[in-house]
Chain A
Amino acid sequence: MATTTVSLQRTARFYDSTIGKKAVMAITGLMLFGFVLIHLLGNLQLFLPLDASGRYPIDIYAEKLQHLGGLLWIARGILLGAVILHIWSSISLARTQMKARPTGYSKKDNAHSSYASRTMWISGPIIACFLIYHLLHFTGGQVHPDFQPGNVYHNVVRGFQQWPAALFYIVGMLLLGGHLEHGFWSLFQSLGVSHPRYTPILKMGAKAFATLIVVGNISMPVSVLLGIVK
């Protein structure tokens, strides 16, 4: 009996450790990744023309998502849980770090690491602000100039015609790109996967993936600003 409690405690203490928290960040990060990819593929339907019934494919897609009902709410719940765990862990790690070096260097050279890796603490929280804005913009419509529930095509085009909004999306996506460029290979390292042959490939894959997400997402506000999509 006693040993069982000890081992249960060991598993529970796992999250107390920084390695445990990083593993949680890696797994939730991976889930968010999956979301970001699917989200992009769905949204690129913005570029499809009106179909035979005179409706935009992206509006039909949005309607289908709404009809998932309970399933949609389960997916939203899981994503929200992942975001909360990801942010919660990052805050708690940040506290450890601040205590670990109370006095900084008067001179410090960071020439050997990537910019993205050193700015996870900046890109992360800005992405969080972006996420809230994004939900109030296209999901709830509270900060949208002319929100019409269900009329996704209209909402996106009208939303991005306001250049400050479009600009915020572009900046947000560039930061997400940096977050992904480091995060996508870092998460493997955090979960204990590293190999001299595959890790460099993984790093290149991370760059390609981040570029795909950034370019794909930015293409939408840019096309609206340029009047290609109207």
Chain B
Amino acid sequence: MQLTLHIWRQKSAGARGKMATYQVDANEHMSFLEMLDVLNEQLISSGQDPVAFDHDCREGICGSCGFMINGIAHGPQRGTTVCQLHMRHFKAGDELWLEPWRASAFPVVKDLVVNRSAFDRIIQAGGFITAPTGNAVDGNTIPVAKKYADRSMDAAACIGCGACVAACPNASASLFTGAKISHLGLLPQGQPERMERALNMVGQTQEEGFGNCGNIGECEAVCPKSIRLEVIAGMNLDYLKASVVWRPAGEESGAG
């Protein structure tokens, strides 16, 4: 199948980018990234610079890949990363526009690659629990009710790809931060730091320059792991509690 691709080409972070047009002959069994591999083979053999795009596992679990295809993060197939998107969802003659995630917190590194270190710093601000070192404890030492385990697991499915930010009209990272906060906040192991986590992760998200949530729902629609808006409400509630009613240790009593 013959396709026309309009791809954002930008040499480096500081350089000015522009869309460039290419023709490629793909077959329907290829993944989207394999189709780009074919294009890159062509470019290399004709002495041109190949298109840079992020990828690692190519099985939809690492969160490295992702760019906009015709204005939709990760392309038209719901609940799928671009590495798991197959060319059978397109037809011969299609014209596709590929652009990197656009957000000031995700500066373009090259072509379709953006720097998502902002997400790492949000995780560093509170996406952890305090656990004793030493031998691993026995399984089920801490019982977790199934309903919470399930919801926590749903939130934990977030692979941090950044599609939520890319799709959001406000470039908000609320779905990401909400998923991380809900994932730990729903488990007993996550309780000790729950309030500080909400304050610190939300604070870091804002410091990175992401926008605010408008409950619009574009993020939920493009999330390759189908994380739901509910996690944002969970984050809001934790943050409200932490800001208004929570008393940190040491504030509980006047004595010692």
- A-side interface residues toward B, CB under 8 Å? 3-4, 6-7, 10-11, 13-14, 17-23, 93, 96-97, 99-114, 117-118, 120, 182, 185-186, 188-196, 199
Other-chain contact of B239, A17, A105, A114, A188 (Cβ < 8 Å): A17
Contacts of B211 in A (CB 8 A): 18, 93, 96-97, 99-101
Q: When the two chains form the complex, which single residue of B68, B216, B250 contacts A118, counting CB atoms closer than 8 Å?
A: B216
Known: A96-B212, A100-B210. A112 touches B218 (CB 8 A): yes
Binds A, one of B43-51, B53-61, B225-233: B225-233
**Min distance, Cβ A187 to any Cβ of chain B, angstroms:** 9
CA distance A20 to B68 in the complex (A): 31
Kindly state the separation between the CA atoms of A150 and B138 in the bound complex, as whole angstroms.
78
A to B CB contacts below 8 Å, 15 in the list: A3-B250, A23-B240, A99-B211, A100-B170, A100-B172, A100-B210, A101-B104, A105-B68, A107-B70, A108-B68, A111-B72, A192-B238, A192-B240, A194-B232, A194-B234
How distant is A189 from chain B, measured CB to nearest CB, in Å?
A: 5
Provide the bound-state CA to CA distance between A196 and B72, in Å: 25
Complex: chain A residue closest to B238, CB-CB: A192
Stretch from B86-94, B95-103, B123-131 that touches the partner: B95-103
Q: Which of B19, B169, B199 has the most CB of A within 10 A?
A: B169
CA distance A22 to B243 in the complex (A): 14
Contact indicator B236/A113 (Cβ below 8 Å): no
Q: What residues on A are CB-neighbors of B247 within 8 Å?
A: 7
Chain A CB count within 10 A is highest, among B97, B209, B218, B242, for B218
B169 touching A118 by the CB < 8 A rule? yes
Q: Is the CB of A189 within 8 A of B243?
A: no
B236 touches A109 (CB 8 A): no
Q: Which of B109-163 contact A (CB under 8 A)?
A: none
Q: What is the CA–CA distance of A117 and B221 in the complex, to the nearest angstrom?
A: 14
Query: CA–CA, A131 to B209, complex, Å?
Result: 33
* CB–CB B218/A113 < 8 A: yes
Known contacts A93-B212, A105-B99, A192-B237; A7/B206 CB under 8 A: no
A16 vs chain B, min Cβ distance (A): 8
- Beyond known contacts A97-B211, A108-B68, A112-B222: 13 more, CB 8 A cutoff: A7-B247, A7-B251, A17-B202, A19-B235, A22-B213, A22-B236, A23-B240, A103-B102, A107-B99, A113-B218, A189-B233, A192-B236, A194-B232
Instruction: Tell me if B19 and A106 are in contact (CB < 8 A).
Output: yes
Give a binary string over B184-220; 1 marks a CB under 8 Å from any A CB, 0 the rest. Answer: 0000000000000001001100100111111111101
Q: Which residues of B contact A185 (CB under 8 A)?
A: 215
Task: Check: B244 CB closer than 8 A to any chain A CB.
Answer: yes
Contact of A194 among B68, B70, B212, B230 (CB under 8 A): B230
The 8 closest A-B pairs by CB, nearest first: A192-B237, A194-B233, A112-B221, A18-B212, A100-B211, A109-B71, A100-B171, A101-B171
**Please, which residues of chain A bring their CB within 8 A of the CB of B19?**
106
B105 within 8 A of A: yes
B229 and A189: CB pair below 8 A?
Answer: yes
CB neighbours (8 Å) of A100 from chain B are 103-105, 170-172, 209-211
| Chain B residues with CB below 8 A from A182, complex form | 215
**A67 CB → nearest B CB, Å:** 39
Q: How far, in angstroms, from A4 to B215 measured CA to CA in the complex? A: 34
Q: Is the CB–CB distance between B97 and A107 below 8 Å?
A: yes
CB-CB nearest in chain A for B236? A192
Question: How many angstroms between the C-alpha atoms of A65 and B205 in the bound complex?
Answer: 48
Inter-chain CA distance A147–B125, complex, in Å, is: 61
Given the contacts A10-B199, A109-B70, A23 and B104 also touching, CB distance less than 8 Å: no
Q: Which residues of B contact A4 (CB under 8 A)?
A: 251
Q: Which A residues touch B256, using CB under 8 A?
A: none
**In angstroms, how far is the closest chain B Cβ from the Cβ of A121?**
9
In the complex, what residue of chain B is closest to A109 when comparing beta carbons? B71
B10 to chain A, nearest CB (A): 11
B251 in contact with A192 (CB, 8 Å): no
Docked Cα-Cα span, A189 to B216, in Å, equals: 11
* Cβ–Cβ < 8 Å partners of B97 in chain A: 106-107
Closest to B251 in A: A3
Q: In the assembled complex, how far is the CB of residue B167 from the closest CB belonging to chain A, in whole angstroms? A: 8
Chain A residue nearest to B8 (CB atoms) is A106
